[in-house]
Each structure stands twice: as C-alpha cells, then as structure tokens.
Amino acid sequence: MTLVKPNGLWLLTLNYNKYKRTYEMQKIFILGILFLIISCSGGQETSQEDEACFSTGSKTYQWTMVTTWPKNFPGLGMGPENFAKYVDEMTCGRMKIKVYGAGEFVPALGVFDAVSQGNVQLGHGASYYWTGKVKSSQFFTAVPFGLTAQEMNGWLHYGGGMELWEEAYEPFNLIPLAGGNSGVQMAGWFKREINSLSDLKGLKMRIPGLAGEVFTRAGAETVTLPGNEIFLSLQQGVVDAAEWVGPYNDLTFGFHQVSDYYYYPGWHEPGSTLEIIINKTAFETLPDDLKAIIKYAAKSANQEMLDEYTARNNKALTELIEKHNVDLRKLPDSVLSELKSITDEVMQDFIADDPMAQKVYKSYTEFKEEVVNYHRISEKAYIDTREID
C-alpha cells in the first residue's frame, strides 16, 4: 500500500495481488477512497471560504443607540459599546450601530421614550428607571434583598423572566434584552455615619427605584438622578448620600472626593441587570440572521460586563482605601434587618394596584425561593467554606 499526491490530492493505491480480494475488503477500499477524496476536496473549499465573510445579504443597516450612561463610561457604558462591536463583527459590517452617551442625543432618562416612539432603534439603560411608566420594570433590574447576577440570569433565561419582561414592554412597542450586570453593588457614599435607622432621618440621598421608597419610609428624602449628575449634587449638598454602582465605577466618578464613608453591602441592588431595548417595528424589518445576531450580541454583552466588574472591583476598592483613605464601613446588621422589614411592606404596597407587577412579583419570588434553597447549600456554603481557617 502506498500514498501518492497527484495534483495536490492524497490518494490511496493498493497492490491488490498481495491481498485476498474479498467482497468486504473491496467495500472498505472504495469507502476509504471516497472518504479521502471528499475530505480533501472539502478542505480546499473551506480554505477558500475562510477568506470571505459568511454573512449574507447586500442591504446595510445604520442604527442608533441612546444610553443612560456617559459615553464609554467604564463598566456600564461599555455594555452598549461591546454590543455594537459584536453586531458589527458578526454581520461583517452589514449592521453599524452608533452609540450616544447620556445627553448627547436625548437626556439619560429620555431613553425609554426615544426608543418606544421610534426616534431611534435602540437603547441601553436600566429598566427600573421607568417604574413611573411600567411598574413591573423594577423587577427586571433588581429589587432589595432580591436575586444576585447569577440568579437573575437564571430567572430571566430559564425561569420565565424574559417572557414577562417582553409582555411588560409590549404596550410600548419595545423588545427588551438583558444587556449587562453589575454584580452586587455597594450600599453607597455617605457624608455621615449610619449607626442606626434613625441616622437616615432627614438624609437626602440619590437612590432610585424601590430602594428609594424603602429609604423614604425610613425617614430619608430620596431622588433619582442619572450618574453624571451625582458628583455635583454631592459636592453642592443637593444630596448628602448617593449610591451608584461599586468601586470600579464609583472611583471613576470620584465620589471619594466629596463624601467620607463608603458603605456595603448593596442590599438594595444585589445583581442589577441592565437592559437593551429595541423598537419593535424596526426590529421586525430585519432579516432573520440579523435578528438572531442582535439577541446573541446582547447575551454576550450581558456576560461581558459582569466579567469586567468581577475582575476589576477589588483593585478599585484597594485604591479607594489605600490611596484615597476612604472609610469603608459595613451597614450594621440591625439597620439591614430593619431595611428588610420595610422592604417587605414597601413591596406589598408597590404591587397592590398593578396586576402585571403582581404577576412578575409572583414569578420572581417563586424562583427566588427555589434558587435560594439550592444556593444555601451550594454558592453560600462554598463561599463560607472557602473562608474557613
């Protein structure tokens, strides 16, 4: 048996006289030859196609994405940038998305309306900014003492969460997708120490969503401000406390220059999901491959953001403490316990007059009970175990 390579193809030749020509051997021989020829010619075709892009279609798309974040802001602001990059790469440039930071095209808190009304095709933000329009949207970002990032992704993609989110945004002609996650946030920056719940009385704090209502009931005055207005508001005394995200993002904004105490844990935002919203009418004009690419690009950007925070938060925290002498504090357990009780009351009132919010709350809490039950003996038990001396 010898191998020869005529015209670039490997072929097998046999000296038949050396072997018995049984029927089975002939069959094996012929199949072997066919396999080699198909493999070789197939390989040649693939190598030619490797040179080209597989994305098909000649029509190109130029879409606009508005965001609630400063342009290119580390972490949060990279969600939309990564998404646009992935879409560009996967469509071989057939679809270009121009990303605008907060205030460049529309104000930060004007993103929902701009996409809903079709002024732009895409938006990136946090759904809980829109609780005034869609009460249930609170659950798709985070609720106090709720799901972590890992658990949110489980609920959204395998626990019925996405279907409910789509239903909630349907009246606004919007399709939502998860587009990033911050992981567990920090409780925030305070100009005064918090030793008991009474220290919250009269406190003016930037804290959005349901947690803002919890703080209000605890005696604070709360406001929702976009990220780019927090620093000035702290500096000028418009607020005397603010929560934003966590060390990696908070360092960038420089909150340590205008407040003394940095409190944890982020009881109010244990794993905030960020959103990509798509104008449904615009989405329906797309060919199927671009529709699929948009969904997978979002999923990728969703995970990418969490990875970045996981990798960078501790370095930023170390810099805040060692270089900027930030006073890191844990909220006392007694305060957290009282905040938890208030959260339960606030939650019941929050959903009372809104059937959709009740429906989402039911799904969310049922999923939470199950996942907490398992995470008690898996994630939590392991993290506790890792701390054992």
The tokens describing 312, both together, are: 């960078």
CB of 163 to Ca ion, least distance (A): 26
Choose between 81 and 269: whose C-beta lies nearer to Ca ion: 269
CB of 118 to Ca ion, least distance (A): 29
Tell me the residue number closest to Ca ion, measured at CB. Answer: 269
Choose between 123 and 226: whose C-beta lies nearer to Ca ion: 226
Choose between 269 and 308: whose C-beta lies nearer to Ca ion: 269
Q: Which residues bind Ca ion (CB under 5 A)?
A: 185, 269
* Whether the Cβ atoms of residue 50 and residue 264 lie closer than 8 Å to each other: no
Choose between 74 and 95: whose C-beta lies nearer to Ca ion: 74
Among 187, 207, 336, 204, which residue's Cα sits nearest to residue 261? 187
Among 301, 299, 185, 289, which residue's Cα sits nearest to residue 243? 185
Choose between 194 and 293: whose C-beta lies nearer to Ca ion: 194
* Whether the Cβ atoms of residue 252 and residue 74 lie closer than 8 Å to each other: yes
DSSP 332: P
Q: Is residue 98 helix, strand or coil? A: strand
CB of 208 to Ca ion, least distance (A): 7
Choose between 240 and 269: whose C-beta lies nearer to Ca ion: 269
Positions of E strands within 220-365? 221-223, 241-242, 261-264, 273-279, 327-330
Cα–Cα distances in angstroms (integers) from residue 89 to residues 95, 145, 289, in the given order: 9, 38, 13
CB of 368 to Ca ion, least distance (A): 20
Q: Which helix (H) or strand (E) holds 210?
A: helix 209-217
CB of 268 to Ca ion, least distance (A): 7
Cβ-Cβ contacts under 8 Å for 34 (sequence gap 6 or more): none
* Whether the Cβ atoms of residue 158 and residue 145 lie closer than 8 Å to each other: no
CB of 316 to Ca ion, least distance (A): 15
